[in-house]
Structures are given as structure tokens and as C-alpha cells.
């Protein structure tokens, strides 16, 4: 017995189906005519963000899976005894069984995808480690009326679906019940639940026009987990929109019919298998259906109303989704207009469905979301030493939001492990980035990180603390540059965090010629890459960082954003063949009022920092989170930077209840007043040893000598002031480590990077469910902030309009 398995949404990848498109040119042209865009070009070149949108994903998977099936049969001559497709790919199985012809199947899938893409307010989450019965019992016991099981993928991997806020809020209950993971997926609809009833109703009209032939090979229904009955196929495919996908039970049915793992063939996009491993897992965890299970009653099929279709079920290209603009014929960037003039950036013309009201979906720039594969124009910035943790990044990616792993201060091995964990935990195609911090005195660390980023295929970084472009940044940018017709595309994208227009100008210009020549001579880049570097800006987007936690120039957004927007506009004109460039705003954003202000200024996206440190997912101690939960806007201060205190560099830190700011200032003052440790007054030295370090300064230096390069220690032996700098810098390092670990014996010395946005946020959420950090999830904060920002803008514009 042999079964063909077809994977569904989530299996898509760039480059899929290339050989099959070439092998079946007539069917490919037929698909183009039905869809209104070049399907082969979309699958080959993307962009991946477009390919990942439901209205494009579903028809693309149908075409690729169907053509790959035809090619497989031609190449091998194999014929299946059963056919099974996951969700949308059930239509591929029906095509393979002769029930639907290619064009009819594609037309139905395209319409289905378009209807599902219109769903709003819903969400889905993968629950791993709980069996279906336990999940259904939990939903029943807790009265979770807005949550339904949607995909029974394996006995211990179930996707639940429902109202988005209910899905997000239910995480704790599922984890408490024994789930090992609960991953919110980046979708906007409550697919395969009763919430899709309106889409189901509309789909009835389209399916009424389709012709269904008898099966030539049995197709297992997703709704019943049994072979389709010919007379009921049309009704079952309508039911499928609101009914759960019984994939695990379908696999167990095949096992009961004598299909073994070796007898299964997965036919889908080229690459690692997606659904075939589910067969093996289901076999090991549950085995085949027993006699009683095989004999269970199958509910009668839905009785469809008599519908006379008025239009054929052919998908027309939808305005705003970039069928031609993003896929078939890339064009140069159109000139921007002032905010509020319908330019797609910010202002009162950003309305949803012509309603005249701003919504969460219309904040900021939709072009930014499309370019980076996001649902909303919102990012959480990187917080050093993994405070922007893997859990935080996974949580944000699962909600369709951008975040950057806090790589600064971590060894490359830990960064590499974190990247792999993130990639293995987020939904396929979800976007994430890694922080890339400048190392003025240790450029080899930039080179090491670039090696890791390129090796791991990380296509997005947040470049921070750079005052000028460095060779490592140019090297990273060069890799992945390619021509796409008349357009140049970047495989490695950079969002540069800057607080000065002159630094922004460097990132909005081409790579410095001297660095390009140096890399070319060293063989680090090719001649073609060197040429392309002269035709693109160094960054895809700029985050304007105003007064913030950590390193800050204490800038004001109202002074910084307008000139950087002008620099961006000029850069878009210079690099017309590259694509749109974006400007976001970060620093001080902890309330809807702050978010609304920078959006009205013209920001394409928001970046939050401090407020994400006081969440469940943040990689710092509970002790730090307890402190942050209780602060107000005046509870921060500026302290010397441990990395560059000799130069007078400052960081903004928490001061309420802590001695760190004052002690850091005193160490810097002693450094400036003395030529070495031996010159410090003995009484003062004892105070420093006892109160700051809890040990002698000689012991501190011994620890430093064991970790620093020999050249640094040799220099410290010759220069007493350098020895003093190394010892004092250790306090800054220890103060961060104590805070991260929650070492209460050193609580007064905690160094906690934080801006006043945290205090403002605390005041905003006082008296609400978010008052305690133990109820704050990073994605929940983001959605609450975006939702209230939209409401605030509607109120303000309405008031101004009288």
C-alpha cells in the first residue's frame, strides 16, 4: 500500500517548483492567467514576505505541489493507493485523484486564500506536548469558548485557533497543564474554527460553480479522517474552512489500512520533509486506529443551499497586495508626499476599508511590513547580553512582530547557539534579527560576528553604536547582493540605529570606496559584489534613537526625525533601483501618546526598548523586573559607560534604590584625579575594595589578568593608569552580571540600562491587568500599545476636525 502526502501552508520556500515550472509551461501559463501574476517568478524570487501572505501562499503551494506530483508520476511511474493533503493541499490531492482539473482546483484555492487573508482579529498557537484529549478537556474545563482545536497534526502537536486576545492570554493555562511549548503563530485569522463562518458562506458561492468528478484514487478527508464519499466532496470542502484538520487521525487510518512509513511519499516544495515526519511520530506515539475507532460514526455532510453562481471563481489581483508591483514588474521608488497625503506612511488618510478611521493595521508604513514580512510596523530593540532573549525573539516572531536578539556582550558560540534555537522555534518564514554592536577598540569581534551571521544565514541585523561604517558591516552587506532585472536586492539587510543625522547619512549612502577596495584586495568580496556595493545604500532602514536606556546621546525626536527623513528621501532618489528606505523611531516610547507623536512626525515604524526589559520573556532577573515595575519617569540617571568611561561616554540607568550611578561616577572621578591605583588615598581605596568590589583591588586585577589578552596585561604593567582603568572597568562588568543574575547580595550595585519610557509605561498601565510584570508578555505589550495609539490618533484628529 502506498500513500502520497502533500504538505500545506508553512512548507513554502523560495526557489520551490523551478524544475516543474520548466517541465509544464502550459499549466504554468494557465496558472498565471488565473492568478493575474507570474507564479514562477514569485516562487523563485519572492520576496519571501509576499510569498508568506496567505492569499499568495495557498495558490503557490497548490501549483507547486500539483506540478511536482505530475513530474513525480512521470519520472517514477508510481501510483498511490491513498492521497492525503494537509489543509489547502487537500485540493492537490483532489486534483491528483481526478476530482478537480488543474484550473478549477487553482481557482478554488485562490479564492479560498483571498477569503482567509481577509480574516482579522483571530490567532493561532501551536501547543506541543499535550494530547488532543487533554487540550479539549482544558478548553472545556476553563470555559475557553473563543478557542478551538484547529489542526491535530500529531498526537502531541495540536494547533489551537480562535480570537487573538484569547489565544495570547491562554498561554499560561496550557503551559500549566503540561505543554512543553506554546507558540503563537503569525496569522490574523482564526482558521478552521466557527469564526471563519463568513468566509465559508462566501466560499459556497464559488464552489457551486465547480465541477467535481468521481475519485480515481481514494482521498482522505481532513474533516472526517476517512476516504471522501464522492457525493459529499463539495460539502466537505466547504466544511473544511471551519472544521479542524484531523491529520493525525488520518495518518492512523492509513496505518490501519496497512500503509507503513516506508510506503509514504511526500510531494511538496523541494527541501526537508514537512508532513512525512508527522507520520513516524504519530506511528510511535499512537499507532494505528483500533477496531472501535475505525467503527466510529462519521457525521453527515453539510447540506449546501442551492446557489446559482453569478461569477466564475477566478481570483482577480488585489490592489494593495503588490501582485505586479512586488512580483512581476518591480519598479523604481515613487516620490513621497507629505504625511497624511495618502503616501502610506502616517497621518489621517491612513484608514481601514475606507471607514475613515485609523486602525492597528494602518499605523506606520504597510510597505515596511511587506518588506520585512511583518504584521505590524513594530520592533523590540536589542538589549545587551541576551536581555533581548531567545524567548523574547520567538514570542515576537510568533506574533508577526520584529525583534532583535541581544547579542552584544555575548561570546560568538552563545550567539550562534541562540540563532539556531530561534530558527528552530519560530514559524517558517517569520522574521527576526540579531544585534550587531560596534567595537571601536576590538574590530576582530565584529569580524567574528559577521562570520557567524553569514554562516547561519541571518539576513537582518540591527547595527548600533556605530559612528562610522566599518569593514565588517560592508562585508556583511556585500554578501547576498544580486540583480533582479532592473532592481538590486539585498540578501543581508541592515537597520541602523542612530542618534545623529551625520551618522544616518553614512548608512544612507553607498559603502566607502576605500573599504570596498580593501575587501576586494583581500579576496573577501567579489568584483560583482564590489560593483553592487556602489549601487545600494548601506542600510535598508534607519531607527532614529532619541533619549533612551543604555548608550544615549539624549536626543529629541522632534529635532532628529525631520532632517533624517529628508536624508532618506534624497537617498531613495539616488538609489532608485534599490527600493524603498524606511525611518523608524525609538527611545522614550512607552505610551500611546509617545508612539502617536513620532508616527505623526513621519516614522514608518516604532522601536521599543526599556519596556520590554520588564516582561516575562526578558532575559534578566526577577529582582531587576521587580525594581523596574515600581519606577516613575524621574527614576533614571546618566552614568559613565563601562566600555568607554575614559572618553566620557554615558549610559542611562535605573537609579531608584541603587548606588550604581553614584559609585560609577566616583570611580571615573578617581580615574581622572590619579595616575594609578597606588596614588589613591588608602582610606578611599579600602572603601572601594569593601563596598564596591567586596575584595582587594589586587585580587580584582588578578581576575582581569586571567581573561584579558596578554598584550593588555603587559601594557597595564607599564602604565599604572591603564591598570587602574582595567580594574575599575571590572566594576561595570560585575554590576551588569549581578543584575542579570539577581544577586541580592549586590543589589545596590545593579547596573540596569533603562530610560524614562519604563516609568511612563508603568503609569499608563497602573490599575490594569498589565500592572504586574508577571502579566506582561512582550507581544501583548506591543499589541496593547498599537491598539491604544490608533484609538488616540482617531480621537485627536476628530477633535482637531471639530
Which residues are catalytic, by number? 87, 192
**C-alpha cell at position 46:** 519572492
Closest CA to 126 of 170, 85, 60: 170
Cα-based distances in Å from 611 to 375, 589, 617, 757, 782:
20, 8, 12, 7, 10
Contacting residues for 19 by C-beta, under 8 A, at least 6 apart: 71
Beta-bridged to residue 497, according to DSSP, are: 464, 543
Report whether 28 contacts 66 (CB < 8 A): no
The burial class, CB within 10 Å (0-12 / 13-18 / 19+), for 355 is exposed
DSSP-derived letter for residue 342 is S
Radius of gyration of the chain (CA): 29
- Region for 588 from its dihedrals, namely left if φ exceeds 0, alpha if ψ lies in -120 to 50, beta otherwise: left
d(CA 171, CA 391): 14
d(CA 409, CA 449): 11
Q: How many helices (H) and strands (E) does the chain have?
A: 33, 20
DSSP-derived letter for residue 616 is T
**C-alpha cell at position 279:** 507520520
d(CA 621, CA 636): 19
What values do phi and psi take at 26, rounded to 5?
-65, -45
d(CA 95, CA 689): 78
Cα-based distances in Å from 439 to 6, 447, 471, 690, 734:
48, 10, 12, 32, 20
CB atoms within 10 A of CB 801: 7
> What sign has the CA pseudo-torsion 620, 432, 9, 272?
negative
Terminal Cα-to-Cα distance of the chain (whole angstroms): 73
d(CA 411, CA 349): 47
d(CA 559, CA 51): 38
E-only strand ranges, 386-514: 402-405, 433-437, 460-464, 482-484, 487-489, 493-498
Q: How many residues does the chain have?
A: 802
Beta-bridged to residue 83, according to DSSP, are: 4, 219
DSSP characters for 756-800?
THHHHHHHHHTTSTTSSGGG--HHHHHHHHHHHHHHHHHHHHHHH
The burial class, CB within 10 Å (0-12 / 13-18 / 19+), for 769 is exposed
Report whether 453 contacts 434 (CB < 8 A): yes
Amino acid at each position: 500500500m502506498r500513500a502520497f502526502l502533500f504538505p500545506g501552508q508553512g512548507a513554502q520556500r523560495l526557489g520551490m517548483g523551478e524544475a516543474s515550472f520548466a517541465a509544464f509551461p502550459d499549466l504554468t501559463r494557465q496558472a498565471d492567467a488565473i492568478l493575474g501574476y507570474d507564479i514562477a517568478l514569485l516562487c523563485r524570487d519572492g520576496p519571501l514576505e509576499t510569498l508568506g501572505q496567505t492569499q499568495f501562499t495557498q495558490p503557490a503551494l497548490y501549483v507547486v505541489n500539483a506540478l511536482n506530483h505530475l513530474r513525480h508520476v512521470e519520472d517514477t511511474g508510481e501510483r498511490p493507493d491513498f492521497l492525503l493533503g494537509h489543509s489547502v493541499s487537500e485540493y492537490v490531492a483532489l486534483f491528483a485523484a481526478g476530482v478537480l482539473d488543474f484550473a478549477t482546483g487553482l481557482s478554488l484555492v485562490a479564492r479560498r486564500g483571498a477569503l482567509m487573508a481577509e480574516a482579522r482579529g483571530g490567532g493561532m498557537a501551536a501547543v506541543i506536548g499535550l494530547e488532543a484529549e487533554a487540550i479539549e478537556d482544558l478548553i472545556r474545563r476553563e470555559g475557553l469558548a473563543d478557542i478551538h482545536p484547529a489542526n491535530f497534526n500529531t498526537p502531541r502537536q495540536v494547533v489551537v485557533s480562535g480570537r487573538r486576545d484569547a489565544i495570547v492570554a491562554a498561554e499560561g493555562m496550557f503551559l500549566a497543564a503540561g505543554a512543553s511549548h506554546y507558540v503563537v503563530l503569525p496569522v490574523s485569522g482564526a482558521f478552521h474554527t466557527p469564526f471563519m463562518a463568513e468566509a465559508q458562506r462566501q466560499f459556497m458561492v464559488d464552489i457551486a460553480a465547480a465541477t467535481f468528478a468521481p475519485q480515481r484514487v481514494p482521498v482522505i478527508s481532513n474533516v472526517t479522517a476517512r476516504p471522501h464519499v464522492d457525493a459529499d466532496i463539495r460539502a466537505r470542502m466547504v466544511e473544511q474552512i471551519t472544521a479542524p484538520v484531523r491529520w493525525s487521525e488520518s495518518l492512523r487510518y492509513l496505518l490501519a489500512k496497512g500503509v507503513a512509513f516506508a510506503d509514504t511519499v511526500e510531494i511538496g516544495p523541494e527541501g526537508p520533509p514537512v508532513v512525512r515526519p508527522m507520520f513516524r511520530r504519530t506511528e510511535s506515539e499512537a499507532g494505528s486506529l483500533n477496531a472501535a475507532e475505525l467503527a466510529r460514526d462519521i457525521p453527515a455532510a453539510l447540506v449546501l443551499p442551492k446557489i446559482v453562481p453569478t461569477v466564475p471563481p477566478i481570483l482577480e489581483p488585489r490592489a494593495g497586495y503588490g501582485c505586479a508591483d512586488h512580483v512581476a514588474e518591480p519598479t523604481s521608488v515613487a516620490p513621497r508626499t507629505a504625511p497624511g497625503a495618502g503616501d502610506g506612511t502616517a497621518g489621517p488618510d491612513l484608514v481601514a476599508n475606507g471607514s475613515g478611521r485609523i486602525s492597528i493595521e494602518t499605523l506606520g508604513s504597510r510597505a515596511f511590513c511587506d518588506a520585512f514580512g511583518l504584521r505590524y510596523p513594530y520592533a523590540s530593540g536589542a538589549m545587551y547580553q541576551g536581555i533581548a532573549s531567545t524567548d523574547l525573539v520567538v514570542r515576537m516572531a510568533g506574533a508577526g512582530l520584529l525583534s532583535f536578539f541581544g547579542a552584544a556582550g555575548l561570546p560568538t558560540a552563545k550567539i550562534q547557539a541562540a540563532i539556531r534555537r530561534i530558527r528552530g522555534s519560530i514559524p517558517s518564514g517569520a522574521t527576526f534579527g540579531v544585534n550587531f554592536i560596534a567595537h571601536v577598540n576590538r574590530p576582530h569581534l565584529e569580524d567574528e560576528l559577521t562570520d557567524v551571521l553569514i554562516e547561519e544565514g541571518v539576513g537582518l541585523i540591527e547595527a548600533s553604536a556605530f559612528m562610522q561604517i566599518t569593514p565588517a558591516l560592508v562585508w556583511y552587506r556585500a554578501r547576498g547582493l544580486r540583480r533582479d532585472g532592473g532592481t538590486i536586492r539585498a540578501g543581508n539587510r541592515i537597520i541602523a540605529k542612530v542618534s545623529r543625522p551625520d551618522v544616518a547619512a553614512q548608512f544612507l549612502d553607498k559603502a566607502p570606496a576605500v573599504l570596498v577596495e580593501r575587501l576586494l584586495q583581500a579576496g573577501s568580496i567579489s568584483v560583482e559584489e564590489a560593483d553592487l556595493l556602489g549601487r545600494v545604500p548601506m542600510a535598508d532602514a534607519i531607527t532614529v534613537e532619541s533619549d533612551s536606556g543604555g548608550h544615549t546621546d539624549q536626543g529629541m525626536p522632534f529635532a532628529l526625525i525631520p532632517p533624517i527623513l529628508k536624508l532618506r528621501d534624497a537617498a531613495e532618489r539616488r538609489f532608485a533601483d534599490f527600493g524603498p528606505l524606511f525611518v523608524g523611531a525609538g527611545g522614550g516610547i512607552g505610551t500611546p501618546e509617545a508612539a502617536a507623536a513620532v508616527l505623526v512626525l513621519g516614522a514608518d515604524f516604532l522601536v521599543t526598548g526599556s519596556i520590554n526589559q520588564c516582561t516575562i520573556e526578558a532575559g534578566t532577573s526577577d529582582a531587576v523586573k521587580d525594581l523596574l515595575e515600581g519606577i516613575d519617569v524621574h527614576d533614571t540617571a546618566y552614568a559613565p559607560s563601562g566600555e568607554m568611561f575614559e572618553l566620557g561616554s554615558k549610559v542611562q540607568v535605573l537609579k531608584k534604590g541603587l548606588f550604581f550611578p553614584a559609585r560609577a561616577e566616583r570611580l571615573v572621578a578617581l580615574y581622572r584625579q590619579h595616575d594609578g591605583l597606588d596614588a589613591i588615598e588608602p582610606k578611599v581605596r579600602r572603601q572601594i575594595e569593601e563596598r564596591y568590589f567586596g575584595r582587594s583591588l589586587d585580587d580584582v586585577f588578578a581576575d582581569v589578568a586571567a581573561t584579558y589578552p596578554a598584550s593588555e596585561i603587559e601594557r597595564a604593567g607599564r602604565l599604572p593608569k591603564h591598570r587602574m582603568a582595567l580594574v575599575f572597568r571590572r566594576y561595570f562588568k560585575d554590576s551588569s552580571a549581578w543584575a542579570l543574575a539577581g544577586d541580592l547580595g549586590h543589589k545596590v550595585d545593579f547596573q540596569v540600562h533603562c530610560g524614562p519610557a519604563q516609568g511612563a509605561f508603568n503609569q499608563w498601565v497602573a490599575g490594569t491587568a498589565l500592572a504586574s510584570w508577571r502579566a506582561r508578555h512582550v507581544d501583548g505589550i506591543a499589541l496593547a500599545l498599537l491598539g491604544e495609539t490608533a484609538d488616540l490618533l482617531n480621537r485627536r484628529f476628530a477633535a482637531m476636525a471639530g
